[in-house]
Amino acid sequence: MDKKSFRKSCLGDLKRISHKKFYIEDKLIARSIECLVKEKKPKSILVYLPMKIEVDLKNMMNDYRSKCKIFVPFIVKESFKMIKYRLPLTRNMYGIYESPKSHMKIKDVDMIIVPVVGVDGDCKRVGFGKGMYDRFFEKLIKKPTVVFVQRKKCVTKDIVTDSYDIEADFYITPKETIFRGRKYDNRNNHCSWRSTSRW
Q: Which pLDDT tens digit goes with each residue over 24-45?
A: 999 999 999 998 999 899 999 9
Q: Which of 18-22, 172-176, 191-195 is predicted most confidently?
A: 172-176
Domain count, the chain: 1
pLDDT tier for residue 95 given thresholds of 50, 70 and 90 = confident
Sign of the CA dihedral running 125, 131, 133, 135: positive
191 within some domain: no
Other CB atoms closer than 10 Å to residue 60's CB: what's the count?
21
pLDDT tier for residue 199 given thresholds of 50, 70 and 90 = very low
Q: pLDDT tens digits for 110-152?
A: 999 999 999 998 889 999 888 888 888 888 888 999 999 999 9
CATH number, residue 7: 3.40.50.10420
125 within some domain: yes
72 within some domain: yes
- Fill in the amino acid letter for 106: I
Distance CA 64, CA 136 (A): 23
